[in-house]
Amino acid sequence: MILSNEKESKKQILKSSSIIGGASFLTILIGLVKVKALALLLGPAGIGLMSILTTIMATGTTFFSMGLGTSGVRELALNNRSIEKLNLVRKALFSANFVLGLLAIIVILVFRVVLSEWFFQSANEQLAICIISVGVFFSLISGSQIALLQGLRKITELAKVKVISALLSTLVGLLSIWQLGEFGLPFFVITLPLVSFFIALFYSRKLPKLSKSTISFKELKTKWQSMFTLGFVFMLTGLMGVGCQLIVRYIIVQELNIESVGYFQASWAISMTYISFVLGAMAADYYPRLTQEMHNKLEANRLVNEQSEIAIILAAPVLLTMLAFSPLVIHLLYSSEFSDSIVILRWQVFGDVVKVISWPLGFIILAKGHSKLFFCTELLWNSCYILLVTIGINDFGIGITGYAFAVSYCIYLFLVYVISRTINGFCWTKYNIKLIFLLTFSALSLLLLSYCSLLATIILGLFLVVCSAIFAVKTIAELGIKNRVLERFLTIYKKMVRSLGYNT
């Protein structure tokens, strides 16, 4: 029997996961059309070029944001019970991002020749670099609005921003490719932050208005110092992650070719997209909730275990589906030209299994404000990933990017578990240990079987996906969540079980 408060807490986690997850699912469907169209229009080389432009924009955004997105969410979550403090955080966050956005444009324009020669080995892409600088500006401005919605746990609004931005940016971006071909790629890349800015602005303006009380520059300066102190390390961490992707792409280009970058980008994009429905929910609701509970270790650890349980249960059907049907997914979303992406995707999916298990623990470090410790854990993952790719690319080819991803997350999981146990006394419940074992064993079985027989992998995958989906639906039903689709599914399931002579 689930205790009342535990049941309500799990309901909240499930509600947030379902809202963000539903938004992510729609975003994935929209992304399928976008990526498929882009692959058909430009091929692997076009996908590779797009990934480089996207990485440049992500690098600029991460660097000039100074980690204010992460530290801002934490400040908003801690101060949302005080109108005066909340107003101060909001104004400090918006003003800082606006100034940093303008600074980003100026710096990128000044160094456009250097950046073009560094990334493209020629000065011919200066215009593309200039366009990307605009994308960095709008990424920062929209990021401050999204941080506000997240810090105040406006989950529904966050979901709407996600879906509407994905839809409109896809339409505008593909139109630019249709009209301009490869020359439209820079516009394609910046459409998402540009559209997100207007959509996030629309919903953030619906929040309670800022008070008209005057906030002095001294107060803003004090708050900026607090946010920058914590955010600077987060910025370095984010920059390190983006830099890691740049280094890996550089290694692939140097040792293999630009087409191999396209294969890597294809599998990476799929891996990062489908798992976002779980990880996005953690960032949207779990992180602010955990931050508010960190003063009570028992409550915080209970919340981590609850989040881990729901995350594993909801992610299992998707992860197992991706493992079983990787070849079909690659051919459907891209084309037969991307067959080399299959082995990368399979190993990245297994890495994602470990990632889902480890992420709730990583948020303990964030919520406690241990920014330097968080930086060290991320440094370990990125260092392992780059090192393994560098060592193995000549022997294993492009497949090493998948192997390295999985191995690095296994090492990362061990580290964050030791740290979370040390700083907060955390340990998994027996039930969660059982879930972790079942999911890991199932995923590993499919991964190994894929090297022997595609048909056998699909058959076993179908069985495991159905079992995990049934288990997920039963878990949701036990929480007392009323839904016609779930009730109909459970009725059919019970009839099938009874027909086989078992009691439900």
- What pLDDT was estimated at residue 1? 41
**pLDDT digits 0-9 by tens, 106-129:** 988 888 888 887 777 677 778 888
User: Quick one: how far is CA 402 from the chain centroid?
Assistant: 17
Which residue would you say has higher pLDDT here, 477 or 267?
267
- What pLDDT was estimated at residue 384? 93
**pLDDT digits 0-9 by tens, 290-302:** 777 777 888 888 8
Helix pair 297-324, 430-449: axis angle to 10 deg: 20
Contact 12, 292 (CB under 8 A): no
- What pLDDT was estimated at residue 407? 94
Name every residue whose Cβ is closer than 8 Å to that of residue 289 and which is 6 or more positions away in sequence: 12, 77, 153, 303
**pLDDT digits 0-9 by tens, 473-495:** 777 766 655 555 555 555 665 56
Q: Mean pLDDT: which of 85-94, 256-265, 388-397 is highest?
A: 388-397
Question: What Cα–Cα distance (Å) separates residue 417 from each residue in 13, 354, 379, 424?
Answer: 21, 12, 16, 10
- How much is the mean pLDDT over the chain? 78
- What pLDDT was estimated at residue 91? 77
Question: What Cα–Cα distance (Å) separates residue 6 from each residue in 10, 12, 54, 92, 318?
Answer: 6, 10, 41, 36, 26
**pLDDT digits 0-9 by tens, 411-429:** 999 999 999 898 888 889 8
- What pLDDT was estimated at residue 412? 93
Residue type, position 409, single letter: Y
- What pLDDT was estimated at residue 300? 84
Q: How many CB atoms lie within 10 A of CB 16?
A: 24
Residue 362 has pLDDT above 80, yes or no: yes
Length of the chain: 504
**pLDDT digits 0-9 by tens, 219-248:** 677 776 767 766 677 677 777 877 788 788
Question: What Cα–Cα distance (Å) separates residue 486 from each residue in 469, 472, 477, 483?
Answer: 11, 10, 7, 5
Contact 99, 85 (CB under 8 A): no
- What pLDDT was estimated at residue 2? 44
- pLDDT grade, residue 60 (50/70/90)? confident
For 55, the enclosing helix (H) or strand (E) is: helix 4-65
Share of the chain above pLDDT 70, in %: 77
pTM of the model: 0.70
